[in-house]
Amino acid sequence: MSTWDLALENENSREGKGETSYVKFQDGNNQMRILDAEPKAVWVHWLSQANNGKGLSVVCLGKNCPMCEKLRYDKANNVQTRDRIQRQFVINVYNRATQRVELLQKGKTIFETLATFHKSMGDITGYDINIVKTGRGLDTKYTVIPVMQSEPVPQGLELYNLDEVTKVFERPMVDLLMSGMSIEDAQKTFNADAGNYTSGSDNNSEDIGVEGGNTTFAPF
């Protein structure tokens, strides 16, 4: 099963190179070209109290994931929380507006449509897609439209290594983020105490919170 097939599945929940540029959607048209043969699928936790209360996205560690443990505890004890977990997909794109390679990372809504195009209209890397953003906040909607008459993308584009940009955090780093620290302060504390930490989660377990045994941090 390819990760395009995962984007078409019904299930969407689970417990259990310099600065990276992500697509920042503008109101209206956002035209881009998919550059990878298929996306990478990850399970992403939203930690509402991390980053000094601003919230932060961190991908599931899989076995013994403290974020999954907290979700299970909150559910069992009827604790109201804004924390959540969602399957997301990440892929390299050429953004026509910024004229650079960026990472498109979103959930099922967008990638289900992309997967449908890929299967019904042929290789999705052969034409542009236009993602139209409308609304605000919880009323935001994304409409995906194929652009069959598209200009070619520049040659020799350097793509992000999806395995590299989705590297796992050590559990102590996640514990610091869950305590409310910013990513910068957590990284400083983790680096200062690195000698006291042991290796992180076992990604060979079947109880992994991400397809392919990889996890990620991804800013939204």
- pTM here is 0.75
The pLDDT assigned to 220 comes to 27
Residue 110 three-state SS: helix
* pLDDT tens readout for residues 23-75: 999 999 999 999 999 999 999 999 999 999 999 999 899 888 999 999 999 99
Give how far Cα 118 sits from Cα of 8, 95, 129, Å: 11, 19, 11
Find the helix packing angle between 171-178 and 183-192, rounded to 10°: 140
Give how far Cα 27 sits from Cα of 105, 142, 154, 167, Å: 17, 10, 25, 31
Cβ atoms of 86 and 107 within 8 Å: the answer is yes
Distance of alpha carbon 192 from alpha carbon 195, whole angstroms: 8
Distance of alpha carbon 49 from alpha carbon 59, whole angstroms: 15
pLDDT at 138 over 60: yes
Q: Which DSSP symbol is given to 217?
A: B
Question: 133-153 as b/e, with b when 16 or more CB fall inside 10 Å?
Answer: eeeeeeeeebebeeeeeeeeb
pLDDT at 142 over 70: yes
Residue type, 32: M
